[in-house]
Amino acid sequence: SMDGLTRELARLVAECSLADISAEARDQAKRHIVDCIGVAVAGAVSEPGKVVDGVVTELGEGGTTTLLGSGITVSVTTAAWAN
């Protein structure tokens, strides 16, 4: 089941130490994280990103989670979609 798979993955991650991960894998992970942040920032300041900001502003939802690059606060669910 998905619950069993999630539980097993969580257990593996919780029991993993830095020594268990190769230097190559750590370097790749760092590169992917930086890439993801760069894409998120670029998207936040792009024209489509501004359109998304406008849509969520019109919804007037409010919340505690900030959209990247705008300072607009929305619900966690909306931020996951918009960011």
pTM of the model: 0.64
What does the pLDDT read at residue 14?
95
The more confidently predicted of residues 23 and 70 is 23
Helices 47-59 and 23-45: angle between axes, nearest 10 degrees: 70
Does residue 62 register a pLDDT over 90?
no
Share of the chain above pLDDT 90, in %: 63
Q: Is residue 71's pLDDT more than 90?
A: no
* Residue 79 backbone dihedrals phi, psi, to 5 degrees: -65, -40
End-to-end, the C-alpha distance of the chain in Å comes to 30
Reply yes or no on whether the pLDDT at 2 is more than 80. Answer: no
Q: Are 63 and 78 in contact (CB under 8 A)?
A: yes
Query: Residue 21, Cβ neighbours under 10 Å: how many?
Result: 11
